[in-house]
Structure 1
Amino acid sequence: MINQDEVFVITEDDILKPADKGKGKGGGPRAVASAKGKAAERSTELEETVAERPVASARGRGRKNPAAASTLSLFVCGLGQLYNGDGRLAALFFLSEIFILSFHYFMYMAWDRVRSFAHLFFVSEWEMMLYASSLDFCVIFFAIYNVAQAYRGAEARGGRFDGLHRPLVSGLASLCVPGWGQLLNGQLGKAVFFLFSFLLQAYLIALYLMSPLFRILVDIEPQRLFLDKAIKVGMAILFVTALSWLLSTYDAFVVARYTRRPRS
């Protein structure tokens, strides 16, 4: 009969002893300590393997160049996202660009019909121009976001980008499109600023030359006051455009020339 008053205390050593019975004299406390050490080493190796998996998978996809991605999206919306491997996002940006271009072409070709239709609802041509300009102002932000997203997406896959360090290439790029050279230098903040100023000024010039804005200003009373203001605004736009163009080119060249290449 088992005495019910007896109390048995089971420790960790009692649990590990049955596994070490077949080892003879070597299955004492030292064997238990070595087993614990091996288990700790295995857990450490497992954690290192799990931590290295995202890096290995990122390397398997290939490093992406932010300068290349942002340059592609600068000229065709969605092309930089396609370069980064984001097919759905690239399709969204590209279809949005097609829709925007189609809408502007339709408004340019059918402006007289749209104006006649708007008059039925007591909407003047000047109000229509204000609505269209507000939409186009949002399009400028869409174009800049498209470039910035491609740059950040490539940086997330390829690591921090420190620039190409080619002064002539960066200077010529900003001479063609202000802000482009800053993208090649790895300065996204400056690139966004120069791109915004360039796109805004280019839009205002296109609005003045291709839209019926000048004719609308002539029809508004008093005519002389609006014409004088339009001329002053046009001269200011030309001055700011030339100044930002020169600043962007100079900044891109100087930064690429005097920025040291990081040591690998």
Structure 2
Amino acid sequence: MINQDEVFVITEDDILKPADKGKGKGGGPRAVASAKGKAAERSTELEETVAERPVASARGRGRKNPAAASTLSLFVCGLGQLYNGDGRLAALFFLSEIFIVSFHYFMYMAWDRVRSFAHLFFVSEWEMMLYASSLDFCVIFFAIYNVAQAYRGAEARGGRFDGLHRPLVSGLASLCVPGWGQLLNGQLGKAVFFLFSFLLQAYLIALYLMSPLFRILVDIEPQRLFLDKAIKVGMAILFVTALSWLLSTYDAFVVARYTRRPRS
């Protein structure tokens, strides 16, 4: 049993003994704090090094200009993808364009033979025109996607594009091809809209002038009633084409004129 008369005395040495042991092992609380600080500095340096790697790799590949890439693909499918360094996709788009042009040339030159062959399967010339028009409508979306993909691919490699900020260049570009000036201004949404309108109207005009559509409407008895309507639609298309052309040119010039350059 413990004697209740005994008295225990606690001195400073007894209190400071744990701290002294800590000093002997690692240098005490100050050493622990300094070690934690060094570890934090090392982790920060590691994070900065990892963050700088993609930037360095992007610089090594070179910055790509979305305006240049989309302009190249606007005139030759796949050329903008080749500019972006994507050779396989460029070859796919280019071969698709070659196939589309060759198919249309073949149909234009051998339309009478194809029509005679289709009659064996009870397919009328009017139905053939509907099938060809549906395919051409898909070709319009293909051409627009080709331009948009080149623009986005260059933007992914070179960063966000804010436009050239050259009103005269943008205005003249949209005067030549509606939507082109919007690409130079960094407005892909507007460019897609004006390009779709332009390609659709250009296709309808070509369909009216170069295809046998007018002759089909005259020859087929039930379609004669729609001949006057077709002429009115053609005139409306010409008006809408001119209006969208002017609107695209005006929009490209005004946006490039009054849009401020981003501060570096």
Q: 1:9 to 1:164 in 2, by over 3 A?
A: farther
Aligned to 1:193: 193
SS in 2 for 1:222: helix
Q: Structure 1 length as normaliser, TM-score?
A: 0.88
Contact 2:198 2:241 in 1 (8 A): yes
Q: Structure 2 length as normaliser, TM-score?
A: 0.88
**Identity %, equivalent residues:** 100
- Is the deviation greater in 108-117 or in 142-151? 108-117
Tell me how far 1:138 sits from its aligned partner. 0.3
- Is the deviation greater in 216-225 or in 153-162? 216-225
- How many residue pairs match? The answer is 264
**Unaligned stretches of 5+ residues in structure 2:** none
Contact 2:26 2:32 in 1 (8 A): no
Q: 1:18 to 1:127 in 2, by over 3 A?
A: farther
Contact 1:67 1:184 in 2 (8 A): yes
Counterpart CA distance in 2 for 1:158 and 1:204 is 37
- Is the deviation greater in 130-139 or in 148-157? 148-157
Q: 1:34 to 1:110 in 2, by over 3 A?
A: same
Q: 1:224 to 1:38 in 2, by over 3 A?
A: same
Q: 1:257 to 1:21 in 2, by over 3 A?
A: same
Tell me how far 1:261 sits from its aligned partner. 1.2
Spell out the pairing of 1:96-245 with structure 2 (5 A cutoff): 96-222=96-222, 224-245=224-245
Tell me how far 1:196 sits from its aligned partner. 0.4
SS in 1 for 2:249: helix
Counterpart CA distance in 2 for 1:9 and 1:176 is 101
Contact 2:66 2:161 in 1 (8 A): yes
SS in 2 for 1:50: helix
Q: 1:118 to 1:41 in 2, by over 3 A?
A: same
Q: 1:132 to 1:39 in 2, by over 3 A?
A: same
Counterpart CA distance in 1 for 2:23 and 2:163 is 63
- Is the deviation greater in 249-258 or in 39-48? 39-48
Q: 1:50 to 1:118 in 2, by over 3 A?
A: same
Counterpart CA distance in 1 for 2:68 and 2:185 is 12
1:132-170 Cα deviation digits (max 9, x unpaired): 000000000000010011111111111111111111111
Q: 1:221 to 1:125 in 2, by over 3 A?
A: same
Contact 1:172 1:249 in 2 (8 A): yes
Instruction: Please identify the structure whose Cα radius of gyration is greater.
Output: 2
Tell me how far 1:21 sits from its aligned partner. 12
Contact 1:20 1:27 in 2 (8 A): no
SS in 2 for 1:162: coil
Counterpart CA distance in 2 for 1:11 and 1:152 is 76
Counterpart CA distance in 2 for 1:101 and 1:10 is 100
Q: 1:223 to 1:54 in 2, by over 3 A?
A: closer
Q: 1:219 to 1:27 in 2, by over 3 A?
A: same
Counterpart CA distance in 1 for 2:238 and 2:8 is 95
Tell me how far 1:225 sits from its aligned partner. 1.7
Tell me how far 1:28 sits from its aligned partner. 4.1
The alignment yields a C-alpha RMSD, in angstroms, of 5.7
1:217-251 Cα deviation digits (max 9, x unpaired): 11111454222012111101100001001101111
Contact 1:17 1:27 in 2 (8 A): no
Contact 1:182 1:191 in 2 (8 A): yes
